[in-house]
């Protein structure tokens, strides 16, 4: 699952792709230059790396995602809980709440999520 770990610049570039897909690789080069100050070769190197990680595909010069941004976030979250809390979601929530008090609306939202999964 290491494909769901991205460096800061990979994440910025992936976000550009998700926001603009489907996008031609030529347009992506222009956005990489404009938004990240990258050269064409850097854009293609990072794009290749993200494709190898299974996040995107570049078919005939058109770049599209293989997983949605939401799915990516879910997989990253699962990986973090697994690695940092031995897979214990209650352990994660307890650690989170020990440093920051939950607002009433957050508690209600969490309770709704739990109730929805009980059914």
In the chain the domains, ranked by start, together with CATH numbers, are 2-69 (1.10.10.10), 88-119 (no CATH)
Instruction: Give me the helices (H) in the chain, please.
Output: 8-20, 25-36, 40-52, 69-85, 89-99, 104-118
* pLDDT higher than 60, residue 58: yes
| Assessment of whether the complete model's pTM goes beyond 0.85 | no
pLDDT (tens digit per residue) in 64-88: 999 999 999 999 999 999 999 999 9
Q: How far is residue 94's CA from residue 34's CA, in Å, rounded to a whole number? A: 42
Instruction: Report pLDDT digits (tens) over 36-47.
Output: 999 999 999 999
Q: What is the mean pLDDT of the chain?
A: 93
Measuring CA to CA, how many Å separate 25 from each of 11, 49, 91?
17, 14, 43
């Amino acid at each position: 699952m290491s494909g769901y770990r991205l460096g800061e610049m990979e994440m910025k570039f992936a976000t550009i792709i998700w926001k603009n897909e489907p996008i031609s690789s030529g347009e992506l080069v222009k956005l990489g230059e404009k938004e990240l100050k990258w050269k064409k070769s850097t854009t293609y190197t990072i794009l290749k790396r993200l494709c190898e990680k299974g996040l995107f595909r570049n078919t005939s010069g058109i770049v599209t995602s293989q997983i949605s941004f939401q799915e990516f976030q879910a997989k990253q979250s699962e990986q973090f809980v697994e690695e940092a809390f031995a897979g214990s979601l209650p352990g994660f929530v307890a650690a989170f709440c020990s440093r920051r008090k939950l607002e009433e609306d957050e508690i209600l939202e969490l309770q709704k999520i739990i109730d929805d999964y009980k059914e």
